[in-house]
A and B are shown apart, each in its own frame.
Chain A
Amino acid sequence: MSESGRRVMIVPCSGIGKTYGTVSREAAYEVVEEMRPDETRLVALSLLVMGDSEARAAVAGGPAITIDGCKLACASKMVKESGGTVVREFDVLEVYRRHNDLKPQGIALLNEDGERLARVLAEEVAATVDAARSQEEGRDA
């Protein structure tokens, strides 16, 4: 398997009307740009909705982690619909329930609590990335 083939696909929610969508994206960017830039790749939901062949191949070719901002779980549904394997579905609301001292507010710009919640979520996603890659490497060995 190629190096890029082992990247874990990170697919956040596309929601623009609620703060939890912003938290999901912020966490995704934190993982992809800061925490695990060489091990992950961000995939846009809109490309999967359109059936973009390159985006579909990307999610079908490696493990995916989805981060949904509401119970409708668009990211998880679209990755599965596109033939991908979701190794873990994160739900921002569930993470917030476990860290309810961090109340996110704002959509265009998150408040401080929202940023912190995104960071907590990103750390969980990064740990899942590591586990998924270890599992893949164990399988390849």
Chain B
Amino acid sequence: MPELPKKKVGIIACSGEEIAEGTVTRLAALQVLERLRPHKTVTICLPLFLAGGEGDRAFAKFHHTIAIDGCDKRCAAQATEMYSGKPAAGIVVTDIVREGGLGPVEGRRRLNEAGRTAVAATAERVADLVDDLLGSEWDRTREGHGTDDPLVGAGQGTEVQAAPENAAPQEAAVQATCSCGSGIPIQKVEIEGKSVSLVGLSLIFERFEQAGKNMGSETAGDLLDVARIYNPIPKDAEGAYTSALIREYAAFLHRRRKTP
């Protein structure tokens, strides 16, 4: 059984420019991305689900996603579910403000005191959700070992430490990991006569190649285990998926040898 790779948590803020709570979502997301959980989170602009390509729309399939919405229209949560995948969690700033009795949030351009408090409270809530999402899945499969690279197996990286609260000055320089334009690689694969879109295949193959994994039954099983993290694989089609994966991996290795 291979060590399963670690996904990051995707943060999607509604960013609603018309209201102050939208500014809270943006700044709270930034706090999580840059200071609270910088190595565990990544973001994408919500409009890219429509304005971008298939790779952008794969975002919520590839990452567990937390939607941060400013109001109960819940644009981020609903659009993510409509165009990419159901978010693993969602929070609404107006709920946090009401629950915390934080007072009216005002100033979409420059937040008032209540707004700034709401940013901190929202960011803390999101950071807790990030820990819950990573802990609930990864600790079971990785037994405490891991790397920050989503596709590197055990023994090839170092233990990732959670970013401490109240970030140190050097962490303030961390930039939000923005997925804009990078997209998640998608590959069409023929399985049982149907064309199936698989997410992240080229990244998985690259990592397997770097790990020196050659063709063989053990590699086939490992490929299936890793591919299913990012793709729904029906139980009764595992054999067909395994065959397709090993075939595509062979083709990948062949192409790499022809083009050094």
**Residues of A in contact with B (beta carbons under 8 Å apart):** 12-18, 21, 25-26, 28-29, 33, 42-50, 52, 70-75, 77-78, 81, 107-108
Contact = CB atoms under 8 A, between A and B. Distances in A.
Given A16-B13, A33-B109, A74-B51, A46 B176 contact: no
Nearest to B17: A44
Which size bracket describes the interface of B in this complex? 35 or more
Interface string B29-68: 1100110000000010111111110000000000000000
A37 to B, nearest CB: 12
B49 A107 contact: no
B231 interface: no
A29 B22 CA distance: 13
B250 to A, nearest CB: 35
Nearest to A49: B79
B43 A49 contact: no
28 contacts: A13-B45, A14-B15, A14-B46, A15-B180, A16-B30, A16-B33, A16-B43, A17-B179, A21-B45, A25-B17, A29-B109, A42-B18, A43-B18, A44-B16, A46-B14, A46-B16, A46-B75, A47-B73, A49-B46, A50-B73, A71-B181, A74-B48, A77-B50, A78-B51, A107-B30, A107-B34, A107-B176, A108-B27
Contacts of B22: 44, 46
Nearest to B29: A16
Nearest to B49: A49
B181 to A, nearest CB: 6
B17 A70 contact: no
B105 to A, nearest CB: 16
Contacts of B16: 44, 46-47
B160 interface: no
B18 A44 contact: yes
B178 interface: yes
Contacts of A75: 47
A45 B25 CA distance: 14
Nearest to A74: B47
A108 B46 contact: no
Contacts of A73: 51
B228 to A, nearest CB: 29
Given A15-B180, A81-B50, A44 B109 contact: no
Contacts of A13: 45
B122 to A, nearest CB: 13
Given A15-B178, A49-B83, A78-B47, 5 more contacts: A17-B45, A44-B17, A47-B16, A50-B79, A75-B47
A12 B108 CA distance: 14
Contacts of A70: 180-181
